[in-house]
């Protein structure tokens, strides 16, 4: 493995992503956690670029770092009681168990992937990436694409209904 | 002889008939039993007469198939069998007749005769068995017959205990026989007597194995014949009606042990150790029981201990290679001991007590019974010219000739004791004055005295079939054609006969001086050595020792196992249920409704599985 | 040829997935739980994109699927938050410990 | 004679009775009882026909029947017959003997059920269902079918104990169900492993496949797996038999269940354990079985002595009999442990013989309880005065149980020990202590009941009544018949024994 720029880029991006994740787990204020995760999302976008998926990277930045994070922040603002994560009581055993479980799971999967290496096949993903995706989406995956739009619609309507229904209920009560 | 198998069937038929119709027949059921045994007797005599001139007859049929093995059942008529058939059916017939009078008025007469029939069937079946397995089968049946008859007065606690004891003690012996028999089978490949003997003779069985099996079989005989240390049931068995004691515990069943050793004689003879064991146990039992007999006060118990003692004599004879002597004494003993028991029954019938301390002066009142009892007493004491004299003499000679000098002297002392306690019994019952109020003392009816007369005659004359003076007809006939059994007559030094006569007369004299003339105080022993007297009086505390060791041990084991049952087995059960309950409770707790907990558990489970798969490479 | 091995990308995805999983199952604030789930989805997306480039048959399909996944994740986040708010209005809490309606 | 559906008819004939009973008005007590008894008769008659036609020279293979039933796997599997579960009934000598025994005891127990006090309708319907299960167990030629019938016996039994039993009936019923449920679970595992690895559940096929080298298997069955399966079988049937220390449920059942049910239970259901061990344990895994003989013999001796010593100190007659059952099942194990002709035949004889004897004893317990309302030894005594006939038979039953020659108990005991003495003389000698103890505890208990002073309250009680004669006479008759002429039983068994012994190679 040579110390190329690509490698250096990967390492730093990965480091940032992992640090973001760890911060998510360890910070106490909810807002901070969300912000920590933004780093992770952005560095994942960087990873996508390394993997010659520019379009996905952009989408990642827009949807995750943008939309979802904002939604979450709104969620926190709308609901939050105490800004901090309350100290869990009596969950120590569960946490330990889970930690071991996650560790075991990770180890088991890592066992499966650590020496995975496929024959490198030359590909042209980086050339006109967006165009390729567009062609693929509108030809091969047209039906899933349409279905996705249905899902989004349903989610939109559903979210509105969920939010409104309670308003009415409360209105009824009052 | 081809139809000798019919002989045991007559009493069996009587047994079945009485079971079915006994209630209607009432006292008439006695006749069913008497007729059946009469038929057996007549037929037995015919078979014996036929056997005198013809060779052994044997017939068999397949009884049980085990794979390639075929176990057979059948019958055999050889010298010993034929002789035993006559003895058994004769005594049985006489006892059946006698019981007609003795049991008169008992409402359970049908049951009594049914039991007698069952016993007689089993006993006759035992003596014609051609193989060990069949012997064992009838051996056990005889035990049941005895058990039923001892417990005939079922409402008496003592009878219940005695019956139980008799059955269990003999069963201990039976197990010995069973083991010995099976071991012998796997050594020789057969249960048949002749094939076993052939195998032993060929040397197909190792010496240790012969000794082992012989001793195991002897244990069976010890149980049945009331030899030390399994003798304690026999005196207790006197709880049964007296005719039963005469039939079973004097003449037939207890002799079965001797019969068994006699019929397995070639096997025993092949092992010096086994022979010595038999002889020592026999001699020891003879002297041991005789000493106990000295101090008993129950008329039947005295006779019971004398039976034990006499059986010891027979064992001594067999153990000293005196095959003929043993069988001979078996025969004479059957007659005079049955006579004594029947006479004792007659006395009890008359005075309604068994305690000789309360009797006395009955000579004048019981004009038949008295002389008959005397004949029996003389015979058992070994007074010259009576049958017991000849047979006992043979035994002593056999013991001497075989080189068992110590045992010989033991036997002589036992003979002295025998004479003493038998005459002590006789004098206490019949001479002097009555020691308690006796009302309605009357002589027994003729149906009871006639059998006694027959036995008395036999008790006198039976000895002459085998005497050193006129020739040993019985002995020669018994061993004819079978060298393994030894000689018909063993020559011994002449002084033995004199010694035997002297000790028996001495015993009689001593008894006369103590109990009739009263020139020696009766308390002579009890006042001088009260401890010895106490020990002997209590039968050496054997029963108590057994109670303290064997019975207590069994109880202790049982309690220990119950402890295991409660704490270990039930404990495991409780532990299991507790574990399941704890698991259930934990499960209920986990179901807190929190998605995260569910998720955690599901995921951890998955992780564990994945780790396992990863480690095992995907295979379980 | 890339100097970064496939397994490195996969390992990164694995680490992120584990972090997300751990967060989703331990955090008490429902919003954080939702975010952790998003993180897990992201980890999966990394895998998809990695295989689309370095897989046995490199093709654009992996990226397309990543896009779909992102779309669905977005929808899920929206609905999830809506539910969260509805729940919050009912029970005045976002603390997941107190959400045990499954129990009864 | 056409025997095409003979066994199906035989097994399911009680169903007719169940249907008829369903339409019977609940109040018609005598009608229900009559019908209940009559419904057991067809299977009895058919069983006897089978027996006599076999003795008359008919081949038992003629009775076999087979229908395709359930098919797992695709079309290809159907062609090869792999993974198919067929409805297969058939009997060999052992099965025949057990079927006859079951039919006889079921009829007698139905008669004994006249003592039942309530809800005859439900009782008899469950009873008949139980009979179907038992007959099915002994005739099925297929492990899965066997398992189904095996389970059918559990459910009615559970209700019969739980509803018609004595004071602690519910506890006893649960004990029964839990223990036996565990046993069947283990059995199911064994069956499934065998099925999945060999592709067949037919007993004969399994026997052949597993004992031929290089037979076509779906998945390999290693020697150690076979051993594991055999031990699992031992546990599964050991619960049923029961083997120490898995016996405590059986004590409760014996004490709490109504006597007529205990007749069935002790007479037949316990025997399924022995049947299974011989049929499957010995039949399918003969080589591994040969390795386990020492264990079996030791377990047998433990059972024998443990039961005997504990029976010795029990204060309740039913408990004495319960422990005596444990003790006697020890003899079955001893016979199996001997693993030779005599031993196995002795074990089978003991199965039959103990079935008859314990049925007789428990019937008499029922008869006596009916009159004295107690089974505590201390409260009983002198019954020979009030009921001489019942007492006599009780004594006879005890004698048969303690192995008196001329009765069936002796033959089996003798053969089992006969066999074991050949293989392990020392162990057998230890075991013979059990023979003595059997005499001790049985006499102690029986004499305490029948002999001794009559308790005043028992003086006026009545002896054996009309319908009570039939079971007593039939059972005693059979016990004596087998005892006097054992070939009546041993001849049908020879063919089965040969098959089993061929597997052992001895």
Condensed to tens digits (0 to 9), the pLDDT of residues B403-419 reads: 778 888 888 888 888 88
B111/B19 Cα distance (integer angstroms)? 7
CA distances (Å), origin B2, targets A170, B133, D505: 114, 21, 42
D138/D150 Cα distance (integer angstroms)? 9
Structure-token pair, residue D66? 């087979």
Condensed to tens digits (0 to 9), the pLDDT of residues B108-119 reads: 888 888 888 888
Which pLDDT band, with edges at 50, 70 and 90, does C1 fall under?
very low
- Report the topology of domain C6-92: Helix Hairpins (1.10.287)
Condensed to tens digits (0 to 9), the pLDDT of residues B71-91 reads: 888 888 888 888 888 888 888
* B chain contacts of residue A114, beta-carbon cutoff 8 Å: none
* B chain contacts of residue C20, beta-carbon cutoff 8 Å: none
Structure-token pair, residue B49? 């007469």
Which pLDDT band, with edges at 50, 70 and 90, does D59 fall under?
confident
A interface mutation test: which of C10, C71, C88, C100 has the most A CBs within 10 A? C71
**CATH architecture entry for A1-79:** Up-down Bundle (1.20)
D15/B414 Cα distance (integer angstroms)? 76
Which pLDDT band, with edges at 50, 70 and 90, does D224 fall under?
confident
Q: Is pLDDT of B34 > 70?
A: yes
Chain B contact for C95 (CB, 8 A cutoff): no
Chain D contact for B566 (CB, 8 A cutoff): no
Estimate the share of chain B in helix, then strand, then coil, as percent rounded to the nearest 5: 75, 5, 20
CA-based nearest residue in chain A for residue B598: A94
Q: B610 vs A97: CB contact, 8 Å cut-off?
A: no
Closest residue to C3, CB basis, from A6, A17, A51: A6
DSSP helix/strand/coil, B366 = coil
Q: Is pLDDT of A173 > 50?
A: no
Stretch among A39-53, B478-492, C27-41, D364-378 having the lowest mean pLDDT? B478-492
What are the phi and psi torsion angles at C83 (to 5°)? Answer: -60, -45
DSSP state of D142: B
Chain A contact for B614 (CB, 8 A cutoff): yes
Mean pLDDT of B609-618: 79
Residue bearing tokens 């003790």: D327
A interface mutation test: which of B608, B609, B611, B616 has the most A CBs within 10 A? B611
Closest residue to A94, CB basis, from B597, B607, B614: B597
CA-based nearest residue in chain B for residue C101: B593
State chain B's maximal CA–CA distance in angstroms: 113
Structure-token pair, residue B476? 């020669």
Stretch among B548-552, D110-114, D122-126, D362-366 having the lowest mean pLDDT? B548-552
Chain D contact for B107 (CB, 8 A cutoff): no
Total CB pairs under 8 A between chain A and C: 244
* pTM, entire model: 0.80
The partner residues of B76 in beta bridges, in order of sequence, read: B58
Q: Is pLDDT of B432 > 80?
A: no
B620/B613 Cα distance (integer angstroms)? 8
Measure in Å the smallest separation between the Cα of D120 and chain B Cα atoms.
34
Closest residue to B592, CB basis, from C26, C33, C103: C103
User: Using an 8 Å Cβ cutoff, are B151 and B160 in contact?
Assistant: yes
CA-based nearest residue in chain A for residue B611: A108
Domain ranges of chain C: 6-92
- ipTM reported for the complex, 2 dp: 0.72
Torsion region of B559: left, alpha or beta (phi above 0 gives left; psi -120 to 50 gives alpha): alpha
Specify the pLDDT at position A1.
52
The partner residues of B74 in beta bridges, in order of sequence, read: B60
Measure in Å the smallest separation between the Cα of A110 and chain C Cα atoms.
7
Structure-token pair, residue C95? 């603390």
Q: C26 vs A91: CB contact, 8 Å cut-off?
A: yes
Q: Is pLDDT of B575 > 80?
A: yes
Measure in Å the smallest separation between the Cα of A61 and chain C Cα atoms.
11
Condensed to tens digits (0 to 9), the pLDDT of residues B315-348 reads: 888 888 888 888 888 888 888 888 888 888 888 8
Of the segments A72-76, B446-450, D147-151, D486-490, which one has the largest average pLDDT value? D147-151
User: Using an 8 Å Cβ cutoff, are B174 and B138 in contact?
Assistant: no
Domain ranges of chain A: 1-79, 129-174
- A131: number of Cβ within 10 Å: 11
Condensed to tens digits (0 to 9), the pLDDT of residues D395-434 reads: 888 888 888 888 888 888 888 888 888 888 888 888 888 8
- What residues have CB less than 8 Å from D219, skipping those under 6 apart? D196, D197
Q: A104 vs B608: CB contact, 8 Å cut-off?
A: yes
Closest residue to B557, CB basis, from D247, D309, D490: D309
Chain D contact for B259 (CB, 8 A cutoff): no
Helix (H) or strand (E) holding B567: none
């Amino acid at each position: 493995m040579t110390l190329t720029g690509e490698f250096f880029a990967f390492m730093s991006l990965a480091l940032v992503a992992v640090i973001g994740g760890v911060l998510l787990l360890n910070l106490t204020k909810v807002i901070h956690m969300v912000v920590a995760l933004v780093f992770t999302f952005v560095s994942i976008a960087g990873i996508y670029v390394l993997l010659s998926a520019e379009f996905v990277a952009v989408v990642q930045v827009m949807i995750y770092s943008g939309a979802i994070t904002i939604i979450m922040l709104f969620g926190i603002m709308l609901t939050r009681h105490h800004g901090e994560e309350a100290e869990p009581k009596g969950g120590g055993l569960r946490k330990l168990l889970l930690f071991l479980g996650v560790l075991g799971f990770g180890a088991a999967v890592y066992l499966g992937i650590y020496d995975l290496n496929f024959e490198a096949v030359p590909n042209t993903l980086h050339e006109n990436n967006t165009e390729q995706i567009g062609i693929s989406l509108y030809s091969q995956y047209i039906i899933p694409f349409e279905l996705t739009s249905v899902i989004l619609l349903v989610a939109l309507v559903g979210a509105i209904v969920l939010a409104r229904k309670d308003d009415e209920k409360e209105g009824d009560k009052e | 002889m081809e139809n000798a198998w019919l002989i045991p069937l007559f009493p069996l038929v009587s047994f079945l008939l009485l079971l079915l119709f006994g209630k209607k027949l009432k006292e008439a059921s006695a006749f069913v039993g008497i007729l059946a045994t009469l038929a057996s007797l007549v037929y037995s005599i015919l078979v014996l007469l036929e056997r005198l001139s013809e060779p052994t007859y044997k017939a068999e049929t397949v009884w049980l198939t085990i794979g390639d093995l075929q176990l057979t059942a059948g019958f055999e008529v050889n010298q010993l069998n034929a002789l035993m058939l006559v003895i058994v059916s004769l005594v049985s017939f006489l006892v059946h007749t006698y019981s007609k009078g003795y049991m008169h008025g008992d409402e359970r007469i049908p049951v009594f005769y049914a039991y007698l029939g069952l016993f007689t069937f089993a006993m006759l079946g035992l003596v014609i068995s051609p193989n060990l397995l069949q012997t064992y089968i009838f051996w056990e049946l005889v035990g049941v017959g005895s058990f039923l008859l001892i417990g005939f007065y079922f409402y008496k606690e003592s009878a219940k205990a005695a019956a139980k004891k008799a059955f269990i003690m003999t069963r201990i012996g039976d197990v010995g026989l069973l083991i010995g028999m099976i071991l012998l089978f796997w050594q020789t490949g057969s249960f048949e007597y002749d094939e076993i003997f052939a195998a032993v003779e060929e040397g197909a069985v190792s010496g240790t194995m012969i000794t082992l099996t012989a001793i195991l079989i002897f244990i069976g005989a010890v149980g049945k014949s009331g030899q030390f240390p399994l003798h304690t049931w026999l005196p207790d068995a006197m709880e049964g009606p007296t005719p039963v004691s005469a039939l079973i515990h004097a003449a037939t069943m207890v002799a079965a042990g001797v019969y068994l050793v006699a019929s397995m004689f070639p096997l025993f003879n092949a092992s010096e150790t086994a022979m010595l064991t038999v002889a020592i146990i026999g001699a020891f039992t003879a002297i041991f029981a005789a000493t106990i007999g000295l101090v008993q006060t129950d008329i039947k118990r005295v006779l019971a201990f004398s039976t034990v003692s006499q059986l010891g004599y027979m064992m001594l004879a067999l153990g000293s290679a005196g095959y003929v002597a043993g069988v001979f004494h078996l025969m004479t003993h059957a007659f005079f001991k049955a006579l004594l028991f029947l006479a004792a029954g007659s006395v009890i019938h008359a005075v309604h007590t068994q305690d000789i301390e309360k009797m006395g002066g009955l000579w004048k009142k019981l004009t038949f019974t008295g002389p008959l009892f005397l004949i029996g007493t003389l015979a058992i004491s070994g007074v010259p010219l009576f049958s017991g004299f000849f047979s006992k003499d043979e035994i002593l000679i056999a013991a001497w000739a075989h080189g068992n000098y110590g045992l010989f002297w033991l036997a002589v002392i036992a003979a002295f004791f025998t004479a003493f306690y038998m005459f002590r019994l006789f004098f206490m019952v019949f001479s002097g004055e009555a020691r308690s109020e006796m009302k309605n003392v009357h002589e027994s009816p003729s149906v009871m005295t006639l059998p006694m007369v027959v036995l008395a005659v036999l008790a006198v004359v039976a000895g002459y079939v085998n005497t050193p003076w006129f020739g040993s007809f019985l002995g020669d006939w018994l061993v004819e054609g079978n060298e393994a059994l030894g000689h018909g007559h063993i020559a011994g030094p002449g002084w033995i006969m004199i010694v035997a006569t002297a000790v028996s007369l001495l015993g009689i004299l001593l008894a006369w001086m103590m109990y009739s003339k009263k020139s020696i105080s009766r308390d002579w022993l009890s006042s001088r050595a009260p401890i010895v007297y106490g020990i002997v009086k209590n039968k050496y505390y054997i029963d108590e020792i057994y109670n303290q060791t064997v019975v207590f041990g069994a109880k202790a084991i049982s309690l220990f196992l119950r402890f295991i049952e409660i704490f270990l087995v039930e404990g495991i059960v409780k532990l299991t249920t507790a574990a399941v309950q704890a698991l259930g409770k934990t499960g209920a707790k986990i179901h807190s409704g929190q998605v995260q907990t569910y998720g955690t558990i599901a995921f951890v489970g998955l992780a564990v599985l994945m780790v396992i798969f990863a480690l095992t490479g995907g295979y379980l | 040829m890339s100097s970064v091995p496939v397994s490195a990308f996969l390992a990164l995805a694995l680490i992120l997935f584990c972090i997300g999983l751990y967060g989703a199952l331990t955090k008490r604030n429902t919003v954080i739980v939702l975010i952790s789930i998003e993180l897990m989805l992201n980890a999966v997306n990394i895998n998809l994109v990695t295989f689309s480039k370095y897989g046995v048959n490199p093709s654009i399909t992996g990226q397309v699927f990543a896009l779909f996944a992102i779309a669905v994740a977005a929808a899920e986040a929206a609905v999830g938050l809506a539910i969260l708010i509805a729940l919050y209005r009912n029970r005045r809490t976002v603390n997941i410990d107190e959400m045990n309606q499954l129990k009864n | 004679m056409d025997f095409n559906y003979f066994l199906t008819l035989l097994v399911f004939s009680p169903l007719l009775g169940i249907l008829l009973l369903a339409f019977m008005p609940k109040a018609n007590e005598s009608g229900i009882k009559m019908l209940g008894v009559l419904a057991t008769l067809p299977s009895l008659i058919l069983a006897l026909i089978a027996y006599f036609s076999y003795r008359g020279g008919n081949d038992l293979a003629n009775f076999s029947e087979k229908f395709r039933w359930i098919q797992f796997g695709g079309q290809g599997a159907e062609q090869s017959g792999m993974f198919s579960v067929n409805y297969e009934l058939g009997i060999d000598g052992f099965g025949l003997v057990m079927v006859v025994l079951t039919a006889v005891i079921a009829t007698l127990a139905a008669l004994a059920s006249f003592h039942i006090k309530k809800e005859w309708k439900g009782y008899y319907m469950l009873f008949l269902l139980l009979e179907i299960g038992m007959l099915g167990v002994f005739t099925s030629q297929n492990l899965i079918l066997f398992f189904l019938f095996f389970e059918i016996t559990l459910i009615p039994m559970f209700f019969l104990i739980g509803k018609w039993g004595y004071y602690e009936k519910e506890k006893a019923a649960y004990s029964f169900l839990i223990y036996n449920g565990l046993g069947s679970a283990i059995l199911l595992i064994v069956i499934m492993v065998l099925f999945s690895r060999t592709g067949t559940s037919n007993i004969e096929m399994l026997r052949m496949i597993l004992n031929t080298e290089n037979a076509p298997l779906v998945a390999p069955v290693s020697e150690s797996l076979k051993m594991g399966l055999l031990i699992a079988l031992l546990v599964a049937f050991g619960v049923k038999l029961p083997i120490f220390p898995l016996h405590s449920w059986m004590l409760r059942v014996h004490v709490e269940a109504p006597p007529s049910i205990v007749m069935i239970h002790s007479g037949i259901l316990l025997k399924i354990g022995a049947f299974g061990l011989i049929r499957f344990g010995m039949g399918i895994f003969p080589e591994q079985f040969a390795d386990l003989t020492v264990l079996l013999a030791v377990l047998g001796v433990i059972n024998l002595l443990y039961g005997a010593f504990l029976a010795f100190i029990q204060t309740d007659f039913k408990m004495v009999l319960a422990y005596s059952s444990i003790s006697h099942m020890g003899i079955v194990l001893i016979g199996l442990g001997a693993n030779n002709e005599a031993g196995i035949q002795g074990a089978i004889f003991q199965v039959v013989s103990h079935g008859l004897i314990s049925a007789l004893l428990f019937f008499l317990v029922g008869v006596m309880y009916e009159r004295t309302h107690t089974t505590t030894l201390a409260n009983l005594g002198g019954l020979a005065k009030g009921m001489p006939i019942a007492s006599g038979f009780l004594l006879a039953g005890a004698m048969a149980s303690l192995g008196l020659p001329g009765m069936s108990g002796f033959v089996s005991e003798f053969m089992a020990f006969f066999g074991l003495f050949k293989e392990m003389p020392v162990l057998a000698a230890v075991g013979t202590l059990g023979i003595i103890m059997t005499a001790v505890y049985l006499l102690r208990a029986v004499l305490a009941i029948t002999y001794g002073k009559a308790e005043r309250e028992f003086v006026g009680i009545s002896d054996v009544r009309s319908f009570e004669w039939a079971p007593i006479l039939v059972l005693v008759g059979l016990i004596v018949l087998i005892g006097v002429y054992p070939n009546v039983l041993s001849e049908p068994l020879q063919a089965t024994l040969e098959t089993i012994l061929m597997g052992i190679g001895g």
